[in-house]
Chain A
C-alpha cells in the first residue's frame, strides 16, 4: 500500500468541495427551481411547466434568443476568417515581427469591461469614429442609440477582441502546414489567392472548424459587450438584450423572479451544451491529427 485509504480524498477535498457546492449543486437546484414560482426572497410553489409556457409567449424571451442567435451568426464568419489572415501576415519572420505579434494580442489581455468602455467612447455620438465619418462627408451615426446598430457595434467589439486570440491558435496550425505543398503549388504556377484556397485552407480546416465552434459558444454567451455599450440598459427599450442579459435582469435583485430565470437558464444551458459538445468533439479530433 503506497498510501492510506483516505489520503486521496484529502488531496481531492478542496477541488471536489468547490465543484460540488458551486457548480453541481447550483445546477441541480436550477433544474428544480425552473418548475417553481420561486422569487429572490425565497419560497416557491411547484408550478409544473408554467415557466416554460410563459417563456413561449414572452416576446422578451424571443427577442433575446433572436439577438443571441444573430450575435452568433454575426461574429463567427469574421472570427474564422480575419484572424487567419492576420496569422498569415505575422507567420513569416521579418524584422520586428515579435512586436507586431505581441501588439496584436493586447486586446485579448484587456478585460471585456476595459474594451467595452474604450469602444463606448470611440462610438459615442461625438466620438472618434463619428469624427472620421463626418470628415469623410457622412453624417453622424447613432452606433449606440439604435437597437440594431448597437447589436452590430457590439459584434464589432467582440470580433476586435477575438482577433489576437484566434490568431495564436491559427499560428500554431499554420506552422504544421507542410512547406513543400506551397512550393509545389508555386511551381505549378498557382498565385497567392489560389494557394490560399487550395493549400492553406484544406490543411488547416480542422482548426477553422474549432475556431468556428469556440467563437460560436462565446458569441452565444455574450453579456459584457452589450451591457457596457448600452450602459446596462440593453439598448433602447431593452431591444438589444441577449439571453444571458435577460437572465441577469430577470433573476437579480430583490424583485428577481428566480423560477422564471432558472427556466431561461435551462434553455441557455441546453443550447450551450450542444455547441460545447460539438467543440469538444472537434477538439479531440484535431488532437489526433
Chain B
C-alpha cells in the first residue's frame, strides 16, 4: 500500500514538472503583459506588484493590432467555409459518383498532398502576381482554400457511409445535389468539424505565406503583424507580450470548447503535420 502511494506521488511530481514546462512560458508572457511601466520586466517576478491591462490598449496605439486580428479572423473564417464546402463537394464526387476522369481528379488531389508548400512558395507568388492578387487578403486565402488533404479525408468519410440509403433516394428521384446536401453531408458531421477546426487553426497560425504575399501593414494578419511589432518595438516587451496574448487567447478558448475534436484531428491529419 505504501509503495502505491509513493508511485502516485512520483507520478504527480512528474505531471507537475511537465505542467510547469508547458504552461510556464505562457504564464511568464502573461505576467509580462500586465506589468506597469514602472516595473522592471527583467526581474523574474510572475506576480506583478501593480497589475494593469493598459498594455493591451497601448499596443493598439503603436500598431493596429485589432485590425490585424480582424484580418486574421476574416481569412480564417473564409478558409473554414471554403474548405468544408469545397472539400466535401470534391470528396463526395470522388466517393459517390461514377464518371469518366475520376481517376484523373484523384491523382490531382493525391499529388497535391505530396507537394510541400515551402517548395512552391516562390513560384506561387508569381502566379498570385499574375492574377494581380499579391498584397490582398484574397491572395492569402486562395492557395489553401480547398486543401487536398481535406478532400481525401472527406472522400474517406463518404466512402464509409452505407450505399443503401442513397440508392433509396435515387429511386425516389433525388438528384446528386439533393443527395449530397440532405443525406451525405449530415452523416459526416464529425469529419467536417475536424476539417473546420484544423482549417481555422492552420489559417490563424499561418506565417510564411502571408509574410511573402502581403506588403502593406494595413493588410497584415496577426502573425506577421506580431513579428513586425517585435522587430519595431523590441525595447518594450510589455507590448509584444500583450500582442501575443491577444493572438493566442481565441485559439485556447476554441480548444477548450472543442477538445475531443482536436485530439481526433491529430490522429486523422497526422500526415499534414
B251: nearest chain-A partner, CB-CB: A109
With contacts A3-B175, A228-B230 known, is A106 near B22, CB below 8 A? yes
User: By the criterion CB–CB under 8 Å, are B115 and A23 in contact?
Assistant: yes
User: By the criterion CB–CB under 8 Å, are B97 and A19 in contact?
Assistant: no
A127 contacts partner chain B, Cβ-Cβ < 8 Å: yes
With contacts A2-B176, A15-B89, A114-B226 known, is A252 near B212, CB below 8 A? yes
A232 contacts partner chain B, Cβ-Cβ < 8 Å: yes
Q: Is the interface of A mostly helix, strand, loop or mixed?
A: helix
User: By the criterion CB–CB under 8 Å, are B127 and A26 in contact?
Assistant: yes
Question: How many whole Å from B118's CB to the nearest CB in chain A?
Answer: 5
Q: Is the interface of B mostly helix, strand, loop or mixed?
A: helix
B204 contacts partner chain A, Cβ-Cβ < 8 Å: yes
In angstroms, Cα B7 to Cα A143, docked, is 37
Q: Size band of the A side of the interface?
A: 35 or more
User: By the criterion CB–CB under 8 Å, are A12 and B247 in contact?
Assistant: no
Q: Determine, out of A53-61, A88-96, A182-190, the stretch whose residues face the partner at the interface.
A: A88-96
User: By the criterion CB–CB under 8 Å, are A14 and B271 in contact?
Assistant: no
Within 8 A of A (CB), among B147-162: 148, 151
User: By the criterion CB–CB under 8 Å, are B108 and A26 in contact?
Assistant: no
Question: How many whole Å from A70's CB to the nearest CB in chain B?
Answer: 18
Q: Size band of the B side of the interface?
A: 35 or more
List A contacts of B204 (CB < 8 A).
Answer: 111
> Which of A14, A103, A261, A273 is close to B22, meaning CB atoms less than 8 Å apart?
A103
User: By the criterion CB–CB under 8 Å, are A248 and B208 in contact?
Assistant: yes
B224: nearest chain-A partner, CB-CB: A113
User: By the criterion CB–CB under 8 Å, are B11 and A94 in contact?
Assistant: yes
User: By the criterion CB–CB under 8 Å, are B22 and A113 in contact?
Assistant: no
List A contacts of B255 (CB < 8 A).
Answer: 102, 105-106, 109
B262 contacts partner chain A, Cβ-Cβ < 8 Å: yes
Known A-B contacts: A22-B124, A23-B120. Give 20 more (CB < 8 A).
Answer: A3-B97, A19-B112, A20-B108, A21-B127, A26-B120, A26-B127, A29-B126, A90-B15, A102-B259, A109-B252, A111-B207, A117-B244, A121-B29, A164-B22, A168-B263, A210-B270, A251-B122, A258-B126, A265-B123, A283-B271
Which 4 pairs between the two chains have the least Cβ-Cβ distance?
A111-B205, A15-B90, A251-B122, A11-B93
